[in-house]
Structure 1
Amino acid sequence: MELLGAATVVLLVCVACLLSIAAWKGRSGKGKMPPGPAPLPILGNVLQVKPKDLAKTLQKLSEEYGPVFTVHLGSDPVVVLYGHDVVKEALIDRADEFAARGHMPLGDRANNGLGIIFSNNEEWLQVRRFALTTLRNFGMGKRSIEERIHEETEHLLEEINKTKGAPFDPTFKLSCAISNIICSIVFGRRYDYKDKKFLALMNNMNNIFEMMNSHWGQEKDNPNSSFHMKNLITSTFDLFIAGTETTSTTVRYGLLLLLKYPKIQEKVQEEIDRVVGRSRKPCVADRPQMPYTDAVVHEIQRFISLIPLSVPRAVTKDLRFREYVIPKGTTIYPVLTSVLHDSKEFPNPHEFNPGHFLNENGTFRKSEFFVPFSAGKRICPGEGLARMEIFLLVAIILQNFTLKPVVDTQELSITPTLSGTGNVPPVYQLCAIPR
């Protein structure tokens, strides 16, 4: 009886798999959904898609199925866009059709469809416009923001000086510095790195709501308004999270790469000394005269590909894309790594080489393949602030310190700790020697 029962289970599983594969074949192909590996019932493509190394998995699948293909994450189909041309076609050339935010369980639970990052439809457009206008009013893209960054770097340099050349993990200090820049914009003040409230804020972002001392809307009598308190708080939370973690992680990863390649660090310092000197801090206005430093900052962002898959999109209607039909609401993964690591645009893309952004005469070379902030209508609203912060922090730190690794550079790993959605640098320590 036990053998009979086991055989029955095996038979049912086989039948379910065959039915699933038959259904999949009927849904994919020209004039239908893009092709992809056959999914298992409920489990989807768990055998082909490795969550801990999702970007590399998708690269291999693109080699087999082409630049537009379908994978099943569980029972849900996801269309993957792989390569510069197809990503550009979707996010820029057909921006409106790919402007919706794709399904992401973590974001749905945390934000309930509110805020900027995970919201959709007219509410998203209104809140995004409001956020951009408010940030501009607060000085984003203007000298006043640069002054806030300069003010915070003074405190960061003090904290680094306290190490007196001893090894330390830069994670906490960089996170505090970047968080304080956002605090100065959103709350109108910065916090001491040992301040209890600030430490609570760093450990639990929900505490930012308790510190808000002003109301952002007068529209409580309008039931259809996007500007109700819960949405505005969630939008502030989005700006704070996005403006802290991504930038501080990028700078932290960048310092690791400069430890790994000390000759690149030396060339940046030589340019800083030649263009800026030591009597004042580097400014955004110096950037055109600092092509090598600019190239290094761009190469850091290109090489690490911080958000390799971007935040998922969705199509707003049934649409024909190339030779396929994608149903309304289908989640879309535009793989940013496939653009940032394109070997035709960036020779030897897996090598850290600032020459990727330099012309033969040493001038800075722009590239439309530089998409670390995504592209189209869902491009990061804080791109301008982040680019300014990364450039200034890297330049100011190297103006004042030479960074030394604790271990031999050959032993220093620059391989990211991979997750499904982000590349995070391995934990490391460094010594900052005053110049």
Structure 2
Amino acid sequence: MWKDQRKFLHEKLRSFGMTYQGNGRKVMESKIMREVETLMHGLSMKRGAPTDVSPSLAMSISNVICSIIMGIRFHHGDIRFKRFMALIDEGFKLFGSIVLINFIPIMRYFPGLSKIRTKISHNRMEMAAFFQETVDHHRATFDKNNIRDLVDTYLLEIEKAKAEGKEATLFQGKNHDRQMNQILGDLFSAGMETVKTTLEWAVILMLHHPEAAKAVQEELDQIVGRSRMPALEDLPFLPITEATILEVLRRSSIVPLGTTHATTR
């Protein structure tokens, strides 16, 4: 099932602009640009006051992802979004606190860890309810001639399976809504959290290495100027900026609990 879903998702996400080629590249870039401008405007309103950039980054990044997979945008101060982000943050912390169970399974029965497992279960249930609301709304407003986002592509696939009498074999017979919720959760949490963490690493590494920040700024001023935003078309002319981004990616720890890591040399 994983292979089937991966193939399906790759094909559909490309049609919504998640590709580096052709028109898709422009679609994706325009979505990102819109959110970056909103982010920059929000930060400028702080007027240099000390601020935690994490919530602003989370909002901007999630809006790019949400517009593609669920066709929605959140606004700063949105109560539902704040709760949703709190659940994701809590979920990562809870998983991190019981990671030893992956290596010593019998520890799952320890009283303290057992309570954490219960908390994780409640966390997942509340997140699933959030995604189910989205699926229900899409189902109520579904139009097969106007596919808006990833949720619609799945609803169309379910309709096709029903028409062909293959409903029982879709998702290998598992509950359709449950599977959609899981896929939306995976795409959102993995896509949002990794990008946000990478950008937070970039900010803190630039703060600790002002000479690197200055080199990037000088290159951007020279090639792009300050009257417009940098674009993907500028990338070939920004070797220092690209090298700095790659160095951030090399040094930062994005998914420390995902799998074992080692240097190649």
Same fold (TM over 0.5): yes
Partner of 2:118: none
Which has the larger share of strand? 1
Matched, 1:209 2:157: no
1:147 matched to 2:26? The reply is no
Q: What is the Cα deviation at residue 223 of structure 1?
A: 2.1
Residue deviations 1:47-101, cap 9 Å, x none?
A: xxxxxxxxxxxxxxxxxxxxxxxxxxxxxxxxxxxxxxxxxxxxxxxxxxxxxxx
AA aligned opposite 1:157: M
d(CA) in 2 for partners of 1:146, 1:307: 25
**What residue identity is the alignment partner of 1:292?**
I
Within 5 Å, which residues of 2 pair with 1:59-98?
Answer: none
Matches within 5 A, 1:150-229: 150-204=33-87, 206=127, 207-212=130-135, 213-215=137-139, 216=154, 217-218=158-159, 219=161, 221-226=166-171, 228-229=176-177
**Bigger RCO of structures 1 and 2 (CA < 8 A, at least 6 apart):** 1
Match of 1:136 in 2: 14
- Give the letter aligned to residue 127 of structure 1: Q
C-alpha deviation, 1:308, in angstroms: 4.4
Provide the rounded CA distance (Å) in 1 between the counterparts of 2:169 and 2:42. Answer: 48
Is 1:276 the counterpart of 2:224? The answer is: yes
What's the TM-score, normalizing by structure 2? Answer: 0.69
Match among 174, 191, 211 for residue 243 of structure 1? 191
Whole-angstrom distance in 2 between the partners of 1:183 and 1:201: 13
1:308-329 Cα distance to aligned partner (Å, 9 max, x none)? 46x34xxxxxxxxxxxxxxxxx
CA distance in 1, matches of 2:256, 2:54: 21
2: CA distance, partners of 1:288 / 1:256: 25
Alpha-carbon separation, structure 1, partners of 2:78 and 2:208: 33
Query: For 2:263, what is the secondary structure of its paired residue?
Result: helix
Higher radius of gyration, 1 or 2: 1
The runs of 5 or more residues in structure 1 that have no matched partner are 1-122, 313-332, 343-435
After superposition, residues 17-56 of structure 1 pair within 5 angstroms as none
CA contact (8 A) 2:132 2:177 kept: no
Whether 1:288 aligns to 2:236 is yes
Q: Distance in 2 between matches of 1:209 and 1:298?
A: 37
Letter in 2 for 1:204: L
Equivalent residue, structure 1, for 2:210: 262
Identity of aligned residues (%): 34
- Contact 1:156–1:177 (Cα < 8 Å) also in 2: yes
Q: Note the residue ranges of structure 2 that are not aligned, 5 or more in a row.
A: 20-24, 89-126, 140-153
Deviation at 1:214, TM superposition (A): 2.4
Is contact 1:201-1:208 (8 Å) kept?
no
Deviation at 1:303, TM superposition (A): 0.5
C-alpha separation in 1, matches of 2:56 and 2:71: 20
Compute the displacement of 1:235 (Å). Answer: 0.9
Larger fraction in helix: 2
Residues in 1 aligned to 2:202 and 2:134: alpha-carbon distance in whole angstroms: 32
Q: Describe how 1:338-349 pairs up with structure 2 within 5 A.
A: 338-339=263-264, 342=265
Q: Which residue pairs with 1:230 in the alignment?
A: 178
- CA 1:255/1:296 → structure 2, altered by over 3 Å: closer, same or farther? same
Compute the RMSD of aligned alpha carbons: 1.8
Please list the CA deviations of residues 259-278 of structure 1 after superposition, one character each: whole Å capped at 9, or x if unmatched.
00111101000111111111
